[in-house]
């Protein structure tokens, strides 16, 4: 063992440093069918109004409000997609179906329930402008409907289609090469021999990366050997924007990831005042590529993913909002602090009246994935020897709400 030469960087400072060095990827044009979950690269403006024509909200009769109280002659029909042609004259009405265009000359629609059908006698209180959607009532022509940086979900894609956009400009997804390191690792499904363990980080990180929008290539398990590591990484970096590794970043003699990243690019963060996750390593590589050396302990790798990698992946793909939402929560337990490191404690949340109360998920050991499985938030406990007493309101990074 040797002492690490890397300065201990404050956790917030390290997170800022990562984002400062993270570029935004170029955009590409994709068909709507491929656009779900992608991030819009340009503001979307409505080329025309929605609805484009006055469209009936009900089944009934299109009429002129000036004819209120009169009996009208039915002169035709306007169904959805089959409009009435011509102009509605005084004393006449047109049968209209939901979605049908309100004919020229008409300024109102009477619901079918409000007339007797053989002879269309319209109510005497007939008002103009009732029972139809005015052009532009939903979207005005030229209106800014979606901002760049918005993730495209069901409603956004429906809106894009309604406005006639068959394709949209979205940011490219980050291509991530994912590798586990460690001579002790075996593939899941294989029986670990003496001293061996199953590689679980790769599956945890694969899920976390995909959830964050990355396109992941798995490089498998690399041994703790300088040349083997270098050849696995070297080949993969051609196609990747980001390298994510787990293990091999602490100060043991078999920890070769930091020297590897140093030889490939520039290491900006080699240790952080964070628990779990002190050996977190961040480097930039040529051509704007990024490398994250996550610690080997399973909870450490996922917590450092949350704090450093996920926001960077969101920046790469153009998200306007990089961070998880935070909410004030009341601590339901006495949280002990770590003297010199910010601690992210895993908690579940319970609703109590209008408040959220955080309960610890139990032992916060960095090897204990059960502290993170089912956790709904990460509570940030500042360094010191005080800790935070039960009942105190703290900000929590929300993973999922109860």
Which entry of Mg ion, ligand AMP, none binds 344, CB below 5 to 8 A by partner kind?
A: none
**Residue 197 CB, nearest distance to ligand AMP (Å)?**
6
Contact segment (CB under 5 A) with Mg ion among 47-55, 209-217, 246-254, 351-359 equals: 246-254
* Beta-strand pair 71-78/44-45: unpaired
Q: Tell me the backbone φ, ψ of residue 113, rounded to 5 degrees.
A: -65, -20
Q: Which pair of tokens denotes residue 76?
A: 């035709």
Contact segment (CB under 6 A) with ligand AMP among 5-13, 228-236, 249-257, 331-339 equals: 249-257
Check whether the bond before 149 is cis (ω within 30° of 0): no
Q: Is 280 in the site for ligand AMP (CB under 6 A)?
A: no
* Beta-strand pair 393-398/355-360: unpaired
Cα-atom radius of gyration of the chain, to the nearest Å?
30
Q: Is 241 in the site for ligand AMP (CB under 6 A)?
A: no
Q: Is 247 in the site for Mg ion (CB under 5 A)?
A: yes
> Rounded CA gap, 238 and 22, in Å?
18
Residue nearest ligand AMP by beta-carbon distance: 296
Q: Is 245 in the site for ligand AMP (CB under 6 A)?
A: no
- Footprint (CB under 5 A) of Mg ion, residues 289-318: 296
Binding-site size for ligand AMP (CB under 6 A) equals 19
SS (H, E, C) 289-323: EEEEEECCCHHHHHHHHHHHHHHHHHHHCCCCCCC
**Residue 192 CB, nearest distance to ligand AMP (Å)?**
11
**Angle at the Cα of 210 from the Cα atoms of 205 and 212, rounded to 5 degrees:** 95
Which entry of ligand AMP, Mg ion, none binds 25, CB below 5 to 8 A by partner kind?
A: none
**Residue 40 CB, nearest distance to ligand AMP (Å)?**
35
Q: Which of 277, 295, 311, 318 binds ligand AMP (CB under 6 A)?
A: 295
DSSP string, 248-292: --SSSTT--HHHHHHHHSEEEESEEEEES-TT-EEEEEGGGEEEE
Q: Which of 182, 270, 277, 311 binds ligand AMP (CB under 6 A)?
A: 182
Q: Is 204 helix (H, G, I), strand (E, B) or coil?
A: helix
Q: Which helix (H) or strand (E) holds 169?
A: strand 167-171
**Residue 271 CB, nearest distance to ligand AMP (Å)?**
12
Q: Which helix (H) or strand (E) holds 209?
A: helix 201-211
Q: Is 278 in the site for ligand AMP (CB under 6 A)?
A: no
Q: Is 260 in the site for ligand AMP (CB under 6 A)?
A: no
Q: Is 297 in the site for ligand AMP (CB under 6 A)?
A: yes
Task: For the sheet with 281-285, list strands across it.
Answer: 215-222, 175-181, 242-246, 289-294, 281-285, 266-269
Cβ closer to ligand AMP: 200 or 326? 200
By the criterion CB under 6 A, which residues form the site for ligand AMP?
A: 180, 182, 185, 197, 199-202, 246-250, 252, 255, 295-298
User: Which residues form the interface with Mg ion (CB under 5 A)?
Assistant: 182, 247-248, 296
């Amino acid at each position: 063992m040797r002492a690490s030469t890397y300065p201990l960087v404050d956790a917030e400072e390290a997170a800022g440093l990562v984002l400062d060095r993270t570029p935004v990827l170029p955009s590409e044009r994709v068909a709507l069918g491929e656009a779900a979950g992608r991030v819009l690269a340009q503001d979307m403006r409505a080329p025309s109004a929605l609805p484009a024509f006055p469209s009936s909200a009900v089944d009934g009769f299109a009429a002129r409000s000036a004819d209120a109280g009169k009996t009208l002659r039915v002169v035709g029909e306007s169904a959805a997609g089959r409009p009435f042609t011509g102009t509605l004259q005084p004393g006449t009405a047109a049968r209209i179906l939901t979605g049908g265009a309100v004919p020229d000359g008409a300024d109102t629609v009477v619901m079918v329930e409000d007339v007797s059908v053989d002879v269309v006698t319209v109510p005497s209180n007939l008002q103009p402008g009732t029972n139809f959607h005015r052009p532009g009532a939903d979207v005005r022509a030229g209106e800014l409907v979606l901002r760049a940086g918005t993730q495209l979900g069901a409603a956004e894609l429906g809106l894009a289609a309604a406005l006639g956009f068959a394709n949209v400009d979205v940011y490219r997804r980050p291509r991530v090469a994912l590798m586990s390191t460690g001579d002790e690792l075996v593939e899941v499904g294989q029986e670990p021999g003496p001293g061996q363990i199953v590689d679980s980080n790769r599956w945890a990180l694969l899920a976390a990366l995909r959830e964050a929008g990355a396109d992941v290539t798995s490089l498998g398990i690399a041994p703790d050997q300088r040349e083997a590591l270098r050849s696995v990484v070297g080949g993969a970096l051609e196609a990747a924007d980001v390298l994510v590794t787990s293990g091999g970043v602490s100060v043991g003699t078999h920890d070769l990831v930091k020297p590897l990243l140093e030889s490939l690019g520039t290491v900006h963060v080699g240790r952080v005042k964070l628990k779990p996750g002190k050996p977190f390593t961040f480097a930039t590589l040529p051509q704007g590529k990024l490398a994250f050396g996550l610690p080997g302990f399973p909870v450490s790798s996922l917590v450092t993913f949350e704090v450093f990698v996920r926001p960077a992946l969101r920046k790469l793909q153009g998200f306007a909002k990089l961070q998880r939402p935070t909410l004030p929560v009341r601590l339901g337990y006495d949280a002990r602090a770590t003297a010199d490191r910010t601690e992210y404690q895993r908690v579940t949340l319970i609703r109590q009246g209008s408040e959220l109360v955080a309960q610890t998920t139990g032992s916060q050991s960095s090897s204990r994935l059960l502290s993170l499985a089912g956790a709904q938030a990460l509570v940030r406990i500042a360094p010191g020897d005080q800790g935070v007493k039960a009942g105190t309101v703290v900000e929590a990074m929300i993973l999922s709400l109860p």
